[in-house]
Amino acid sequence: MSTSQTGKAAHDAVVNAAEAVRQTAVVPGASQATVNAAEIAFYRTCLASAKANGVGTECFTTALKSLGVQS
């Protein structure tokens, strides 16, 4: 997965760090439960950061909904 840059340094840093954590969990052989948990944690972190930094949240709420989680 790649991340986009918003121009808001604080948010971009949080998203990049969350992506690094997500990538350590989503490895070959990881169970679907592990992958889902990593994805949910990533999008929750991004959503919280987006709210705190005044960045659009729609992509994060949509991703969480697709994973079966209400934001």
Are 18 and 2 in contact by the 8 Å Cβ rule? The answer is no
Domain residue spans in the chain?
A: 32-71
What's the pLDDT band for 4 if we cut at 50, 70, 90? confident
What type of residue is 42? F
Task: Give the residue from 58, 48, 53 showing the smallest Cα distance to 18.
Answer: 48
Taking the model in full, what pTM does it have?
0.91
**What value does the mean pLDDT take over residues 9-32?**
96
Q: What pLDDT does 29 receive?
A: 97
Q: What pLDDT does 47 receive?
A: 97
